[in-house]
Every structure is written in structure tokens, then in C-alpha cells.
Structure 1
Amino acid sequence: MADTPERFVVHESGAYLHGTKADLSVGDLLVPGRLSNYQQGRISNHVYMTKVLDGAVLAAELAVGPGRERVYIVEPQGPVEDDPNVTDKKFPGNPTHSYRSAGPVRVVGEITDWTGHSPEYLEKFRAGLEELRRKGLDVIYD
């Protein structure tokens, strides 16, 4: 993926994807109630997923903490809903294919053949998130 990837194209597998720096294995469960991937000290009430590889890659790159970025294929074990933090409801015209679950999500595989974003792109993206926060639009996941 270059600096202008196809941000809203559902991955060819149609699977749910989760980007993180956590080193997980097939069969592991992601569960709510743990520290957020995106803000130190914050507990996440949901497990977040997308069906867009670029979104999962970006989530992995934005994740806090040590370790390499990873993109996992996951299967929710309970109900899934559109993620109101980033979907069309909060940001009209943003078809992110982002979802969340208040239940566990099982790791069923890992996608390793992806290319990350440039440092310049990530810097620009983080600056955009900061600007949204200054305007009162918190897009950090709960």
C-alpha cells in the first residue's frame, strides 16, 4: 500500500480483521475490558475490527506499546455492530467497514503480506486525529 491506498475496499476474504502490536496465536481470544490499543491507561469496552486491510494495517501502526505491527483474521463469538466512533454515523461519507463487539473475538489467522504506510503519512494521520480531538470529536476507541 502506498500513501493513497484503497481505504474502503473490503478485503478479498470478506473476513473481519484486527490490527494490533499484540503477539497472538490462532485460537487466542480478544476480549473487552483490557487496555486499549490506542491510548495508554484507557480500558476498552469493545473489541474493534474492520473488513478493510488498509484499516487493519493503520490500526496496527497506531497501536501503542512495543512489538511489531500485526494484522489478524478474527471471528467474533457474539453480536457485532457498526463502530459508531468512525463509521458513517459520526463522519458522514466514511464507509470504513469498521465494527465492534462487546463479546470475545477469536484469532483464526494472520495476514503477513501487507505493506505499511510511510512515516510521513502516519505523522499526517496522527495530526488529523489530534485536530479532531481539539474539536471535541474523540475517535479513540472506548
Structure 2
Amino acid sequence: MTAGPIPFEVHESGALFHGTKADLAVGDVLVPGRESNFAAGRIMNHVYLTATLDAATWGAELAAGQGRGRIYIVEPLGTLEDDPNVTDKKFPGNPTRSYRTTEPVKVVGELLDWVGHSRDQVQAMRNGLAALQQSGEAVIDD
């Protein structure tokens, strides 16, 4: 893979992904009640996942913490719902194929051959998120 991720393109494998900087292993289980990848000190009520490499890549690139971004292949162990933070608020329907669950999500693999967004794209996203934070509009519906 040489190009960066394509927005809204469902990964050819049909897998679901979780992007983060956490160092996880196959068999680990993600559960609600952990600190947010994006808001320091905020405990999350859901685990978030996606079927698009683009959304997973953003998760891996923008997550808090040190170390490299990682994209895990995950299997939900319960029901999913559309992620209301992007569904209909930012995009009509759910073209990012982003979901959340209050139930455990099992790590079944790690995607190693992904290519991230350009430095300019990442910086632009960080700038946009910082502007939302400053204006008080950085609201996470969790």
C-alpha cells in the first residue's frame, strides 16, 4: 500500500478496526470505562470502531499518548450502534462506517501495512480540533 487512506472507503477485508496508540495484543479486550484517546481525563462509556481504514487511521494518528499509532482488527462481542459523533452531525447517514458499543470488543489482529495521512493533513486536523476545543464546540456524545 503506497497511498494514504481513502475517505468513506470500506476496507476490502470487511474487517472492523480500532485506531489508537495503545500497545495491545491479540486476545486483549477493549471495554468501556477507560480514558478517552482524545480527551484527557474523560472516561468513555463506549468503545469506538470503524469499517473504513481512513477513520481508523485518524484514530491512530490523533490518539493521545506517546509511541506509534496502531490499527487493530477487532471483533465486537455485542451489539453496535452508529457513532452519533459523525452520523448525521458531520455526514448524512454513516459514510465513515463508524460505530460504538457499550459491550466488549476483542482484538483479533493488527493491521501493519497501513499508510497514514500526510503531515499537512494531520496538522490541519489537529488545528481544526484545537479550534473546536477553544470555541467550546469539541463535544463528544458518549
Q: CA RMSD in A?
A: 1.8
SS in 2 for 1:9: coil
2:47 alignment counterpart: 47
Deviations 1:36-94 (A, max 9, x none): 1111111111000010011101110000011211100000011100000012x212436
Which amino acid in the other structure matches residue 28 of structure 1? D
SS in 2 for 1:43: coil
Q: Which runs of 5+ in 2 are unaligned?
A: none
1:114 alignment counterpart: 114
Shift of 1:136: 5.0
The normalised TM-score by structure 1 is: 0.89
In structure 2, do the counterparts of structure 1 residues 49 and 141 end up closer, same or farther at CA, with 3 Å as the change threshold? farther
In 2, Cα distance between the equivalents of 1:73 and 1:141?
A: 24
In 1, Cα distance between the equivalents of 2:69 and 2:83?
A: 22
Shift of 1:131: 3.6
SS in 2 for 1:127: helix
Is the contact between residue 71 and residue 112 of structure 1 (CA under 8 Å) also seen in structure 2? Answer: yes
Map 1:96-111 onto structure 2 (within 5 A): 96-111=96-111
Shift of 1:128: 2.0
Shift of 1:6: 1.6
SS in 2 for 1:99: strand
Q: Is the counterpart of residue 19 in structure 1 residue 29 in structure 2?
A: no
Which amino acid in the other structure matches residue 111 of structure 2? I
In 2, Cα distance between the equivalents of 1:139 and 1:8?
A: 22
Count of residues paired in the alignment = 139
Is the contact between residue 17 and residue 51 of structure 2 (CA under 8 Å) also seen in structure 1? Answer: yes
Which amino acid in the other structure matches residue 90 of structure 1? K
In 1, Cα distance between the equivalents of 2:141 and 2:39?
A: 8
Q: Which runs of 5+ in 1 are unaligned?
A: none
Shift of 1:115: 0.9
Deviations 1:75-116 (A, max 9, x none): 0011100000012x2124362110001111000011000111
Is the contact between residue 19 and residue 57 of structure 2 (CA under 8 Å) also seen in structure 1? Answer: yes
